[in-house]
Structure 1
């Protein structure tokens, strides 16, 4: 997750039972370049389904928005734009997160960013159970 944090992108799932909304905080390239309005451009799933723009609210932490997450969503993609149509899309890679309710093998405090291979390698080094769950979720398989 450190890679996205370095870009000023944070995502926090709501606590149970309201697991259908995630909060995104953005304090990256656009605000640092003087943007006074920022929008989160959001899509779900592997193919960016249900694309929608959310106007973010300026706070002490940067810009924030609450994003509804459907119960069947597995991946949330986001990039950011300002009122002048300048974009922060992570150098074309976008910001992508594994989302969904936690289970016995998946108990992380914040949603996982998908920096696919780095993320999997880090997980496998620290926790085999979480590693297996991450790989299975990426490939829609079961443990």
Structure 2
């Protein structure tokens, strides 16, 4: 699994519509001892659509993981929270990946 920034891992990259995307989190909420962590995710460019919170599973190494199937061809956006109003949202920028349609271009 590729570490995209400190403590954030995403697989696969690039992301294609229909992919099951796996995310692993070892960021500030994990190191602060959060009792639970949620992946907060949605699609789109300006306004997020299909917003959902996915409860992450804690691993033996202290990391948290979750997966989702990408079903929207725009942009996958995500951040993390602990359910107690503590957020890790990349200093308000969140994390975003443009989603590919799977077609090869010349």
TM over 0.5: yes
Point out where structure 2 has 5 or more consecutive residues left out of the alignment: none
- How far is the alpha carbon of 1:54 from its aligned partner? 0.3
Q: What are structure 1's unaligned runs of at least 5 residues?
A: 106-142
Structure number, greater radius of gyration: 1
Identify if the C-alpha distance between structure 1 residues 104 and 77 changes in structure 2 by more than 3 Å, giving closer, same or farther: same
Runs of 4+ in 1 over 4 A off after TM superposition: none
Structure 2 distance, partners of 1:102, 1:10, is 22
The aligned counterpart of 1:38 is: 37
Q: Distance in 2 between the 1:104 and 1:73 partners?
A: 15
Alpha-carbon displacement from aligned partner over 1:62-111 (angstroms, at most 9, x marks no partner): 111011210x4221100100032200000000011122354435xxxxxx
Provide TM-score, normalisation by structure 2: 0.79
Distance 1:50 1:34, change over 3 A: same
Kindly indicate whether structure 1 or structure 2 has the higher relative contact order, using CA contacts under 8 Å at least 6 residues apart: 2
Which residue number corresponds to residue 76 of structure 2? 76
Residue 11 of structure 1 deviates from its aligned partner by 1.3
Is residue 57 from structure 1 mapped to residue 57 from structure 2 by the alignment?
Answer: yes
Q: Which has the higher strand share?
A: 2
Return the structure number with greater helix share. 1
1:115-136 deviation per Cα after TM superposition (whole angstroms, max 9, x unaligned): xxxxxxxxxxxxxxxxxxxxxx
Measure, in 1, the Cα distance between the counterparts of 2:99 and 2:9: 13
2:100, 2:54 → 1: CA distance? Answer: 20
CA offset at residue 60 of structure 1? 3.4
